[in-house]
């Protein structure tokens, strides 16, 4: 059973993100397998809860499977080129019927959760035309989005639903890729979040080659990647066409103003609220550069830092610190912040003889897989060197192996500054490691 402290931390996460993402514009793509799955009603219920919590939600449902079924029933054949469906002109009425059928399924399910949704024709499209001699026929791309009408719909408290159809100024319909449609809508509206909820999205180290330094969760799934890491991932996994295309869409969206893109597995119940309302999430997040950062500790960070230290103090890994001690020394500390919440800390103390000590290294256990600890150590080593330190040491009782991996070598108690030796106790028997 979860301890009261763990429960409280979970509740604090939710409250923190409710405040952060109230009125946030969230574009959600649901692929056709997710819509057809037993978990669809659960995902819709979660979307309804997100809407009721104050997020502005737009939905783009995938309709590929339904379109396949309808065209097959009508004995109309088709092929794909560059993720566009290529089919004869007589297919278009059937494609429209199937696309609106799927959108209506989403709208009906939202209505069952007391949410009013609107299926609209906010997309002005143009035909892809003939490219390198190939005629794309009824396949289209977005020409313009009626953002003014969309914002009115959102401000009225409705959820817009987009079938994968766009019309040109003369009323001619075109079939548009739902995934691309979701990305373009997010870009046009400068969305805070773009979700791709897909049945087979699982960027795991057991399946893909993962760039160095990428954060993995306990199952080996990639928790987050910045754009540089996305480029490396794509280079390492060139043969995985579907996921590479999706990551290119995500990267392009971030480059054009979308704050974050999330790839989540539609086979997991509760994946949407978990990804939004917890720091760790439950999918893979693509971001620019503002997700996690190291910064100088401030005085109002003291309660959070004490909370992070507490489990390490209880296990005897850290010496206890009081609130007053941190008030007196907080300028020596740095913290690691994710979405304005602190999840790690460490400190650097300089001595008169030119030595410096890294101390109070503590990383929230739930985030220990993300490589935050080494980042803190690296930052403090750089700080010590910039301040003219001639040597950096640490003192530890239970983390010797971890520090050895970072390049520290065992040293002696006699080697540390006299004022620090006076605080050493034989009972605790901390060992010294030095760079």
Range with lowest mean pLDDT among 84-88, 259-263, 291-295, 414-418: 291-295
Alpha helices in 387-424 (DSSP H): 400-405, 418-421
Hey, what are 56's tokens?
């502005």
Cβ neighbors of 282 (< 8 A, separation 6 or more) are 264, 265, 268, 270, 271, 274, 275
Buried b (16+ CB within 10 A) or exposed e, 97-107: ebbbbbbebbb
- Average of per-residue pLDDT values in the chain: 90
Residue 280 has pLDDT above 60, yes or no: no
Element (H, E) at 350: strand 341-350
Mean pLDDT of 41-68: 94
CA distance 373 to 363: 6
pLDDT value at 279 more than 70? no
Assess whether pLDDT exceeds 60 at residue 319. yes
Residue 36 reports pLDDT greater than 60 = yes
Task: Give the percent of the chain with pLDDT over 90.
Answer: 71
Quote the pLDDT of residue 341. 84
Q: How do residues 336-370 score in pLDDT, each as one tens digit?
A: 988 778 999 999 999 999 999 999 999 988 777 77
Per the rule left: phi > 0, alpha: psi between -120 and 50, beta: everything else, 23 is: left
Task: Quote the DSSP letter at residue 204.
Answer: B
Instruction: Return d(Cα 286, Cα 293) in angstroms, integer.
Output: 15
Give the per-residue pLDDT at 221.
86
pLDDT beyond 90 at 394: yes
Pick left, alpha or beta for residue 88 (phi over 0 → left; psi -120 to 50 → alpha; otherwise beta): beta
Q: Among 266, 267, 285, 286, which residue's Cα sits nearest to residue 275?
A: 285
- Give the span between the Cα atoms of 370 and 217, in whole angstroms: 8
Per-residue pLDDT of 91-130, as tens digits, reads 999 999 999 999 999 999 999 999 999 999 899 999 999 9
215 phi-psi bin (left φ>0, alpha ψ -120 to 50, beta other): beta
* Residue 218: pLDDT over 90: no
Mean pLDDT of 392-420: 93
Average confidence (pLDDT) over 3-24: 66
Model confidence at 278, pLDDT cuts 50, 70, 90, reads low
Contact 338, 374 (CB under 8 A): no
**pLDDT at residue 1, as a whole number:** 46
Task: Indicate whether 378 pLDDT > 60.
Answer: yes
In the predicted model, is pLDDT for residue 12 greater than 70? no
Contacts of 421 (CB under 8 A, 6+ apart): 413, 414
Average pLDDT over residues 124-145: 92
pTM of the model: 0.77
Strand segments (E) across 121-254: 123-127, 130-131, 134-135, 140-145, 159-161, 165-167, 173-175, 193-198, 215-216, 222-226
User: Range with the lowest mean pLDDT among 6-20, 179-193, 306-320?
Assistant: 6-20
Q: With cut-offs at 50, 70 and 90, classify the pLDDT of residue 14.
A: low
- CB half-sphere exposure, 365, CA atoms < 13 A: 8
């Amino acid at each position: 059973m979860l301890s009261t402290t763990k429960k409280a931390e979970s509740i604090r996460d939710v409250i923190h993100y409710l405040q952060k993402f109230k009125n946030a514009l969230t574009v959600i793509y649901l692929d056709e397998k997710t819509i057809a799955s037993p978990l669809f009603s659960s995902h819709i219920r979660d979307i309804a809860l997100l809407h009721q919590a104050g997020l502005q939600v737009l939905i783009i449902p995938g309709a590929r499977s339904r379109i396949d079924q309808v065209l097959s029933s009508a004995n109309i054949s088709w092929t794909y080129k560059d993720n566009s469906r290529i089919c004869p002109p007589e297919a278009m009425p059937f494609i429209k019927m199937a696309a609106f059928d799927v959108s209506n399924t989403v709208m009906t399910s939202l209505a069952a959760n007391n949410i009013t949704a609107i299926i609209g024709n906010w997309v002005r499209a143009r035909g892809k035309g003939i490219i390198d001699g190939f005629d794309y026929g009824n396949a289209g791309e977005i020409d313009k989005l009626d953002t003014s009408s969309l914002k009115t719909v959102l401000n009225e408290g409705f959820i817009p639903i987009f079938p994968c159809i766009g019309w040109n100024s003369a009323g001619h319909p075109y079939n548009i890729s739902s995934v691309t449609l979701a990305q373009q809508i997010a870009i046009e509206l400068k969305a805070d979040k773009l979700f791709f909820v897909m049945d087979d999205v699982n960027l795991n180290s057991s399946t893909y080659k993962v760039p160095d330094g990428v954060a993995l969760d306990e199952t080996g799934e990639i928790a987050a990647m910045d754009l540089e890491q996305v480029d490396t991932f794509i280079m390492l996994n060139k043969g995985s066409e579907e996921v590479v295309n999706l990551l290119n869409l995500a990267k392009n969206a971030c480059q054009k103003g979308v704050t974050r893109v999330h790839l989540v597995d539609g086979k997991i119940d509760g994946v949407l609220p978990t990804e939004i309302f917890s720091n760790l999430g439950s999918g893979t997040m693509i971001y620019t550069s503002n997700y996690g950062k190291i910064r100088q500790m401030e005085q109002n960070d003291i309660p959070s830092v004490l909370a992070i230290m507490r489990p390490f103090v209880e296990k005897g890994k850290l010496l206890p610190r009081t609130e007053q001690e941190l008030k007196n020394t907080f300028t020596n500390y740095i913290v690691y912040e994710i979405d304005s919440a602190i999840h790690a800390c460490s400190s650097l103390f300089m001595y008169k003889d030119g030595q410096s000590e890294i101390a109070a290294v503590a990383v929230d256990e739930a985030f220990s897989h993300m490589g935050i600890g080494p980042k803190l150590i690296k930052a403090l080593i750089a700080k010590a060197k910039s301040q003219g330190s001639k040597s950096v040491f640490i003192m530890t009782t239970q983390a010797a192996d971890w520090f050895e991996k970072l390049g520290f070598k065992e040293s002696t108690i006699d080697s540390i500054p006299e004022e620090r030796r006076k605080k050493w106790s034989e009972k605790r028997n901390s060992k010294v490691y030095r760079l």
